[in-house]
Structure 1
C-alpha cells in the first residue's frame, strides 16, 4: 500500500482542483447538500487492483466523513463484475470526487494489470522493469503501480541513477571516455549503466568498468551472444521493442533485466465504474 506523502497529497489536491474549479455546477444544483448515500465501485473486466489508497484519499480530501468497505487489496485480481469496494458518505462529495478518483484508479490498475501479464509471461527468468516514460506529474503513482503488478522500478529520475546513453557518449567522444568521467567525478555508491547498440559497444563498456549494460533494440540472437560475452561480469538489460509477443523469447536469452516503456507510456485504463445506490 502506497504511503500518502506530502507530494502525493499535492498530486491529488491539484487533480481535484483541475476538475472542480470553482465548483460542480450540476451536483450543486441537483443534489441536496445534506443527502447521504453509498456507491459501489465495480470492475467491468478482470484486473489487478492498484491504487485503492489513492482512490480513497481523493474522496477523503473532500469529506473526512467518507467511509469505505473494501473487498480486495492492492495486488489482488478482481474478476469482471466484482465489487472492489463501497463508498459511503455525503453524496455531493462522492459525485464531486468520482471522476478524479476513478482516473487515478483506472490508470494504476491498467499499469498493474499489464505489468502482471509481462511478469507472468517471463516466468521468473528476468526482472521486468519500468522506465521514465511516465505521465508528467504522476510518476510516483505510475511506478508504484508497476511494483504492485510484480515489476521492478528502474531509476526514478535523472537524479538517482547513472545511465550513459547515446547522446552522452556522443558528447564525451566515446563509451570509454564517458565512463571514465563518471568514475572520476560521480558518487562511488552508484552503479554505472551504459546503453549500447552492438557487441563492440558491449565489450568497450565492460572494459571501461561499467556495472550494467543496456542492450538497445538487439534481436534475441545478438542478446545470446551478449550474454556469453558478458559472462556475468555485468548486468544485462534488454530494452526497445519489447511486447507481450516477444518478452518470453527475450527472457530466454539469459539477460537479467527487461525494461518495458509500454508499462507506463501507453497503459489502457481499466473499465471501472462507480454506481450510486438509489
Structure 2
C-alpha cells in the first residue's frame, strides 16, 4: 500500500453525514447563523500543532464539501505525509459560515486519524532492519473501522481482518468450545471454502506442534509469548506458516519481538490507544 491510499467518497459519506447531523442538532449552527453576515468569504488553514503523520485529509475535505459543495478544500500535505508544527495541511476557501459549521467534524476526524497514523509510524520504525510488518486488529471505534484502518496504512502499517467474514480466525475460546486444536482444524478442512484463509491462535509450543501436525492452517497467531518462546516458535514453524505475534505488544517491546523473526506483529493499541494529533483550523 502507498501513503496515498484512499477510499471512494461514497464509502465515507455515511459516517460523515452521521457526524455532521450529530453536531448540527435539530436547528443547525445557531452561533454562526447569528454572528456571521451572509455572503462572508474567508480562507481557512488546517495546521499541525505537533509533529506526526498526516491522515484524514480526504475525510476532512469531504466534511467541508458536504456542508457546502461550493467550498474548495485544497490539500497541502497528503495522507501519509510527515508533518511538523506550523505545517499547513489543508486550505479551505469559500463561505465562512459553511467552513465554521464543518470545522469541528473535520478536525475530529483529522486529529483522530492522524494520531493513529502517527502511532503506527512509531511502531513501524521499531521494526527497521527486519522483515516484520505491523498490523492492526478489530479493536476499533464502532462505526469508524474503515477510516481507522486506513489511517494504519497511512502510518506504514498493514491491515488485519475488517470483519468476521474476511477470514477464519480461530481463537482460544473457539478451541475450548469445539474441543481442541485438532477438531477445529479438521472442521475447517471439511467445511471451509477453498478461497478462505485460516488462522489459529496458540498459547504454547505444544499447541503449535499440534497445529503443524494436523495441518489446515495458513497463519498461526502466537499469543502472549515472551520473546524467547517466540523465537522457538518461529524456528519450529520454519516457514511453513505465516507467523503473527500478538498480546501486550507495547511500543517499547516491538524491536525485541521483530528480532525473533515473526512475520507480523498485531497490536490493538494502534487504534484503541492512539492519542489525537493536535491540529487546528485558523482563519
TM category, shorter: over 0.9
1:60 to 62, 65, 68: 65
Matched pairs, number: 276
Structure 1 partner of 2:180: 174
1:206 to 203, 212, 219: 212
Q: Distance in 2 between matches of 1:6 and 1:266?
A: 28
Give the alignment of 1:93-108 within 5 angstroms.
93-108=98-113
2:64/2:73 contact within 8 Å kept: no
Q: Distance in 2 between matches of 1:17 and 1:238?
A: 41
Q: Distance in 1 between matches of 2:33 and 2:41?
A: 14
Q: Which runs of 5+ in 2 are unaligned?
A: none
1:20 aligned to 2:24?
yes
Deviation at 1:144, TM superposition (A): 0.5
Instruction: Tell me the secondary structure at the aligned position of residue 251 of structure 2.
Output: coil
Structure 2 partner of 1:259: 266
Deviation at 1:172, TM superposition (A): 0.6
1:190 to 189, 192, 196: 196
Give the alignment of 1:209-228 within 5 angstroms.
209=215, 210-228=217-235
- The CA RMSD measured in Å over matched residues stands at 1.0
Q: TM-score, normalised by structure 2?
A: 0.95
Q: Which runs of 5+ in 1 are unaligned?
A: none
Structure 2 partner of 1:110: 115
Q: Distance in 2 between matches of 1:84 and 1:7?
A: 23
Deviation at 1:5, TM superposition (A): 4.1
1:131/1:153 contact within 8 Å kept: yes
